[in-house]
Amino acid sequence: MLVNQIAVFLENRAGRLLSLSKALSDAKIDLVSLNIADTSDFGIVRMITSDNEKAMQALKEAGFVVKENELIGIEVDDVPGGLTKVLEGLASSDIDIEYLYSYAKSNSAKATILVKAADLEKANKTLKELKFI
């Protein structure tokens, strides 16, 4: 399954993440997953939202530069080894992963792994063949 992600370039400046969060909450957007890593002076916020179109509009109006792109979403059993199986599958087909994050809802036995692969098409095809998606 392909999942649309929103990416925002964020300066490492006091209050920037707050402004981003506020822009989304004011527009009544629910965050499904959010990911941000620490770097020296800037970061990329990556997120999946309840309504990407509305979220992008709200963020643009708040002065953020926003980009939408596609990830592969893989639903796995939320048990030890769930991620390992997927990674083994990708490794066996020589697929490079640029980054990956995941989310799991508390009342669900499933977790979703979100993968950004260098070659999205190839990764998608491989995972389909391996019946992961």
Question: Binding of another protein at residue 15 (CB under 8 A)?
Answer: no
Q: Sign of dihedral through CA atoms 24, 3, 38, 84?
A: positive
Between 26 and 96, CB nearer to another protein: 96
Question: Binding of another protein at residue 2 (CB under 8 A)?
Answer: no
Interaction mask 59-98, another protein, x per CB under 8 A: ----xxxxx-x----------------------------x
Cβ distance 36 to 69 under 8 Å? no
Q: What angle do CA 115, 56, 27 make, to 5 degrees?
A: 115
- Answer left, alpha or beta for residue 131, where phi above 0 means left and psi between -120 and 50 means alpha: left
Interface of this chain with another protein, residues 35 to 64, rule: CB under 8 A: 37, 39, 41-42, 44, 46, 63-64
Residue 82 — φ and ψ, nearest 5°? -60, -45
Query: Site residues (CB under 8 A) for another protein?
Result: 7-11, 37, 39, 41-42, 44, 46, 63-67, 69, 98, 116
